[in-house]
Every structure is written in C-alpha cells, then in structure tokens.
C-alpha cells in the first residue's frame, strides 16, 4: 500500500498507509491525533469521515506506544473495513 506523510501534534512527521475513503459513504477520511508522545494520559488516533451526515468515526488509544504506532493501527483497521466494501 502507498505511504504518505502524517504529522502529530508536536509536528513530528512519519510515513503511514494512505487513508482510504469512508467505508459507508465513500467520502474522504481524515486522521487526527489527541495527545502526543509525551502525554502521560496516552495518545489517541482518530479516523473520521469528512461527510457531516455520515458520522463514521474510529478512535484507538495507547499508553505504551507512540503516535506513529497508534496511527498505523488505526489506518490499518479503517482500510481493512473499506477493503471489505470494494472501495
């Protein structure tokens, strides 16, 4: 799968899989982060559909791993869901 650049809340850039369209409506998806690698309360990656009427969203969190790891887990799960619907 093609890789693209993402950046976390601290501006750290890393490569991760391209985010496929929403598995339900086909609109673009967006990936954003809550917390950062220094956050003692953990880090979250949110994959969300940009279509306001769809409201599809996936949130994954971690305490032990970094933002790049949780981003890859989230994108993998989102894209696996999309792949099941032929998008």
Q: Which residue has the higher pLDDT, 1 or 51?
A: 51
Measured distance CA(43)–CA(37) in Å, rounded: 7
pLDDT range class, residue 83, cuts 50, 70, 90? low
pLDDT range class, residue 84, cuts 50, 70, 90? low
Q: Is the CB of residue 50 less than 8 Å from the CB of residue 30?
A: yes
Instruction: Note the pTM of the prediction, 2 decimals.
Output: 0.86
- Residue 82 main-chain phi, psi, to 5 deg: -65, -45
Tell me the per-residue pLDDT of 12-52, one tens digit each, with 9 for 90 and over.
Answer: 899 999 999 999 999 999 999 998 888 878 899 999 999 99
Of 74, 86, 85, the C-alpha closest to 29 is 74
């Amino acid at each position: 799968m093609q890789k693209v650049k993402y950046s976390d809340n601290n501006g750290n850039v890393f490569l991760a899989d391209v985010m496929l369209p929403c598995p339900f409506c086909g609109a673009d998806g967006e990936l954003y982060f809550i917390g950062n690698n220094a956050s003692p309360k953990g880090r979250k990656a949110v994959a969300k559909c940009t279509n306001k009427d769809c409201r599809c969203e996936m949130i994954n969190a971690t305490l032990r791993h970094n933002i790049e790891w949780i981003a890859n887990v989230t994108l993998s799960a989102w894209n696996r869901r999309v792949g099941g619907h032929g998008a």
